[in-house]
Amino acid sequence: MALTKIKSEGIKDGEVKNADMADDAVGVAELSATGTASSSTFLRGDNSWATPTDTNTVTTINNNADNRVITGSGTANTLNGESGLTYDSGGMAITGDSDRDGLKITQSGNNYGELMFNSNRSSANNALGIIRSEWNSTEVASIYLTAGSDTTNKDDGQIKFMTSPDSGTGIQTRMLIDSSGNMGFNNTAPSFTSGTGIHLGDNTFIGFGAGGDSRPDFQLGSVDGSLLSFRCGFGADTNDTNINTSGDVLVGCSNTDSNNSTGIRLLAHGAVHATRNAEYGYIGRREGSDGGVFLFRRDANNVGSISVSYTATAFNTSSDYRLKENVTAISDGITRLKTLKPSRFNFKSNKDLTVDGFLAHEVTAVPEAISGTKDAVATEDSEEAKKGDPIYQQIDQSKLVPLLTAALQEAVAKIETLETKVAALEAG
């Protein structure tokens, strides 16, 4: 039913329903509003037609497109859709076209800025936030902010600095700071039994000096976990000075076997090995005065020395009377001397040289001159010999001097007695 006439007393509530209204049944002309109806006016609540004012201005958005963030343009009633700043389900993206384009946090007052990552990860070492750099869409260098190991309290964390080598093997951890403050280089599990520190992985070095040939002048680092190596010079990567896991210091060598290579070996148990293939293996120098160059001790007692003067070297052994007791004269010097068997021979290692000397086991007259036991064989490995190798006897021929002196004195006494008798016979 169309609405054709309205009674003077008006329309009662509910008397006209939607079904009673035909499309376009009431036009603008039938409205009794004041003012002029046009395409640029609108009907206000006070039943009047009005033109929009500045307080009702329509705002224009330039460059609008899907997912662009809208920003102010500097022009009234105009906004911009930023092509370099978009947001969708994958997050916010900033796309720049010149250097230094990107995210900037600036505080104008006495405050600090903050970039926060907050994530409730369930497993230890999971990433909480990543500052990632990509080269042609390939991750090549990143900082990973990760959870620590306490998955109950979730209050510890780590920082991983990662890069990708040119071999295409992917991003790798190069440096890590763990929740204890330990720092690892090429070591993802830095640890110390006490305190904190910097823990370098195997074949990781600290370099010093300008260097050359892609190497620093000096390098310090661990070689395969077996040596702490100090490399000198920027030539080949040779391990010039090393400390092994036993605490042995190895100068010019990398092992403790002085029989097979040159170098100086300062062994942790106190031994010193020096091997050289030319000139002198040891040089002891005293400057400005005569005196000792080497001092030898047994426990805390001085037992010998090597001293020098301008013209000579003395090999000294303990002989002070205050160190001795039960002193008696040698009375059988000739008898004991006659048991010695001086010989001429050559050593098997040098067949062309014949020398004078003794066979150690035959020197029974002065047993303290001999070290070792005849036909001894090593029963276990040691610095002196391998198990099963012969342990050769040695002789200190200087210890024969007292016997030789006593025998000579006895012989002189006999000669003097004979001379006296001869003189008496010749006089009579």
Any idea what the Cα angle at residue 186 is, between residues 183 and 192, rounded to 5°? 40
pLDDT at 1 over 60: no
pLDDT digits (tens, 9 = 90+) for 39-58: 888 888 888 888 877 555 67
pLDDT of residue 259: 85
pLDDT of residue 117: 94
Q: Which CATH class is domain 330-428?
A: mainly alpha
Instruction: Pull the structure tokens for residue 147.
Output: 């959870």
DSSP class of 299 = T
pLDDT digits (tens, 9 = 90+) for 214-223: 888 899 999 8
Query: What are the residue boundaries of the structural domains of the chain, listed by start?
Result: 60-94, 127-275, 286-327, 330-428
pLDDT of residue 72: 86
pLDDT digits (tens, 9 = 90+) for 144-158: 999 999 999 999 999
**Integer Cα distance of 140 and 173 in angstroms:** 11
For residue 341, give Cα distances in angstroms to 8, 51, 359, 412. 164, 141, 8, 21
pLDDT at 23 over 80: no
Ranked by mean pLDDT, the top range of 15-29, 193-207, 340-354 is 340-354
Higher pLDDT, 264 or 382: 264
Residue position matching structure tokens 């946090």? 105
Instruction: Pull the structure tokens for residue 351.
Output: 């067949």
Q: What is the mean pLDDT of residues 339-367?
A: 96
**Integer Cα distance of 204 and 244 in angstroms:** 16
How sure is the predictor about 334, in pLDDT bands with cuts at 50, 70 and 90?
very high
* Torsions phi, psi for 82 (to 5 deg): -75, 115
pLDDT at 8 over 60: no
Decide: pTM greater than 0.95. Answer: no
pLDDT of residue 42: 82
Higher pLDDT, 129 or 8: 129
Number of C-beta neighbours around residue 130 at 10 A: 14
The pLDDT mean for the chain works out to: 89
How sure is the predictor about 65, in pLDDT bands with cuts at 50, 70 and 90?
confident
Q: With H, G, I as helix, E, B as strand and everything else as coil, classify residue 407.
A: helix
pLDDT digits (tens, 9 = 90+) for 358-407: 999 999 999 999 999 999 999 999 888 899 999 999 999 999 999 999 99
Q: What is the mean pLDDT of residues 7-34?
A: 68
Beta partners for residue 129, in sequence order: 145
Buried b (16+ CB within 10 A) or exposed e, 297-319: eeeeeeeebebbeeeeeeeeeee
For residue 366, give Cα distances in angstroms to 124, 150, 166, 375, 383. 76, 75, 75, 19, 28
pLDDT of residue 78: 87
pLDDT at 5 over 60: no
